[in-house]
Structure 1
Amino acid sequence: MGPDQASRKMQRRQFVRLSGTVGATGVLGLVAAGDASADGGPVPGAPPADAPGAPGTAPCPTPSQLCGYPTDTGGRYDLWDRVQVCEGTKTGPPFPQCLRTTPTYVILNGGSGSNHDYLLVPSCRISGIECPFIASASAPNYWLEAWNNAQPGQPGHVVYPHIGLGVNSADPAIRQQDQLHIHLAGIHSGIQTQLNNHDSTITNAPSNWRNQIVPIWGLTSTGAPAPRSYRVLHVANLNQNLFTLLRDSVVRPTGATMAAQILAVTPRLVGNGGFYVLNSEPGLPVPPGQPGGTGTVDFLLAYA
């Protein structure tokens, strides 16, 4: 088994082993057909996006094949079941990993049991990065909420030198749960070092993000080097919706699909600070001699 295969196997350790499969062609093809359209009209009312757990009315996408249905249950929807149990809208065994429950998201323990492995999961039924709602003006700022919840004193406090947040692509060989979830984890120290070294060439202009390709050596689940390339953008803060930024700056201009994308966020440790936003997709075009793209964030993030 090669490093890539070992890394993909590692995905399964994030959650309870689940049965059920979805064909990659079916998922990605569905998104390609529906990605350019609106999601059908979210429920009006935007929640406040300041303190974690702030009360408010949670907008949700219109149920659809692309975003999922509230009646989805079991198997690849286990995370959605857990959200509903945490909210008290579904009966089931109590989950000790219901660390915070809000109108827009819940914070859960990840699968490794470490103190740097948590999940932010929307309270809405949202399949994943392919659901157009998450890039709409009505969507909560899940990334800012994830960052806030990873801080000291918060239920998802990541005890690690530096925080890494991440979302996988819709590829069912990689993503084992079809309910949107942002990983709150550590980031491998070597990733930060490489980003520091490339900092002078990393853009802060969203319009240049799709062309800002940086070779990064990540790690597989076995600790083996995993050379890949990522589009990297420097942002001053997380006040904007990164899903919207990705859609408008990368996906639409390149004719790609949201389903194929990954996103990762980590602090910028040099200059005037801020954050690095990393994006990749399978088959990412790269200059000769540079490594190719990836559909997983697990080369970047440290869980266990």
Structure 2
Amino acid sequence: MNDQQNVQEVPRRQFVALSGVFGAGTLLTGAAVMSGGTAVAANGVDAGPAPDACRTTPPPPGGANPCPPASLQGICGRPTDNDPLWHDVQYCTSGIVPPPPQTKPDCLKMTPNYIVLHGKPETTHNYLLLPTCRVTGIECPFLVTSGPANYWHEAWENARSGGDVPVQYANIGLGINSQGARRYNQLHIHMAGVRPSTQRRLQELESQGRMATSASQWANPANQAAVTGSAGDRVYRILRLPNLRDNLFNLLYTNVVRPNSLNMADQTMIVVPKMTATGFAGAFYVLNSDTSIHDGTSTCDYLLVYS
């Protein structure tokens, strides 16, 4: 399992009133800090198609960096929580040094909405994107609303070839673990590699019509398939999307979790951009799984390549 580490405490944030799906309340807004950190190198490891070097889509619609309201701190986390990745966020946004024995992280990119850090182990194809808001993970109900920034789109824009923190690997994968499968309790999207075999398998399933092309069909058992990873075959629900402009957390909750009386905290998600010999092919495979599926999994770590 490769659910990441590092440290830092208490960001500089501003409390404002939130009205909307949760009613009037208090929320944290991340203050802007910009720096020029960039992670580049030439690794590559797996043979495969060369990534696309062109910027994809303009920034998607999303929240203006709002955070969960105070009423959700019981499930989404409190600013005073002692979590290593949350300490990392606080160091990068506020300069507050992490408590021993943790060390200062390398803040590779900082924006009002998110930061990017090295993953562990530190390689040129293992990074993390973390909200500047206090958000424990996938179980936080605020993530399925229109409030949050589109963290998945931002992860892709950073990880792609030509991005600010590019993943130096022939094929890229983005992933998030379930609550039970992760080590740290600050939301983090893994930006890593995937094997050429994973890319080939997904394209094969697409050609066979064995994946959903609309979110409403995502939970259909006909759109479940085995994909081989580091721990053998695991079964995933597979959805093909033309872009990442929609809130993937909301798509998952609305079309898979709620209709099937599942638990959002148990879900894992992996996004694999479709690649061809000429580069990015303008589509994304979105994989979801949990242990309610026969041979399913609640971790993204089987498909992502970190080291």
* TM-score w.r.t. length of structure 1: 0.77
Number of residue pairs matched by the alignment = 255
State the 1:108 CA deviation: 0.4
Structure 1 residues 57 and 272 mapped into 2: Cα distance closer, same or farther (>3 Å)?
Answer: closer
Q: CA deviation at 1:205?
A: 1.3
1-side partners of 2:148 and 2:243: how far apart? 18
Residue of structure 2 equivalent to 1:261 = 267
Taking the aligned partners of 2:150 and 2:160, their CA distance within structure 1 comes to 16
Match of 2:226 in 1: 215
Number of the residue aligned with 2:68: 61
Distance 1:194 1:41, change over 3 A: farther
In 2, the alpha carbon distance for the partners of 1:268 and 1:258 equals 26
Could you report, residue by residue, the CA deviation over 1:102-123 in whole angstroms, capped at 9, with x for unpaired residues?
1111000111111000000000
Equivalence for 1:278: 287
RMSD (Å) for aligned C-alpha atoms: 2.9
> Percent of aligned positions with the same letter in both sequences?
41
Residue 83 (structure 1) aligned with residue 85 (structure 2): no
Aligned-pair distance for 1:15? 2.8
Closer, same or farther: CA 39–170 of 1 in aligned 2, 3 Å: farther
Equivalent-residue separation in structure 1 for 2:274 and 2:58 (angstroms): 22
Assess, with a 3 A threshold, how the Cα gap between structure 1 residues 176 and 114 changes in structure 2: closer, same or farther: same
| Correspondence for 1:300 among 292, 303, 306 | 303
Distance of aligned partners of 1:97 and 1:39 in 2 relative to their CA distance in 1, 3 Å threshold = farther
Structure 1 residues 202, 39: closer, same or farther in 2, change over 3 A?
A: farther
Q: SS of the counterpart of 1:157?
A: coil
| Cα gap change, 1:253 to 1:139, in 2 (>3 Å) | same
Say yes or no: does 1:178 pair with 2:185.
Answer: yes
CA distance in 2, matches of 1:159, 1:295: 26
Q: Deviations over 1:257-287 (max 9, x none)?
A: 1100001001124796410000000131x5x
Give distance in 1, aligned partners of 2:22 and 2:183.
26
Q: Matched residues in 2 for 1:139 and 1:67: separation?
A: 13
Superimposed CA distance per residue, residues 68-87 of structure 1 (whole angstroms, 9 cap, x where no aligned partner): 000002xxx10000100001
| Equivalent residues of 1:44, 1:138 under 8 A apart | no
Q: Are the equivalent residues in 2 in contact too, given 1:39–1:61 (CA < 8 A)? A: no
1:39–1:62 contact (8 Å) kept in structure 2 = no
Unmatched runs of 5 consecutive residues or more in structure 1: 1-9, 18-36, 221-225, 287-291
Counterpart pick for 2:152 among 136, 143, 149? 143
Aligned to 1:237: 243
The answer for the alignment partner of 2:205 in structure 1 is 198
Q: How much does 1:43 deviate?
A: 4.0
* Residue in structure 2 matching 1:108, options 104, 117, 124: 117
Structure 2's unaligned 5+ residue stretches are 8-20, 32-56
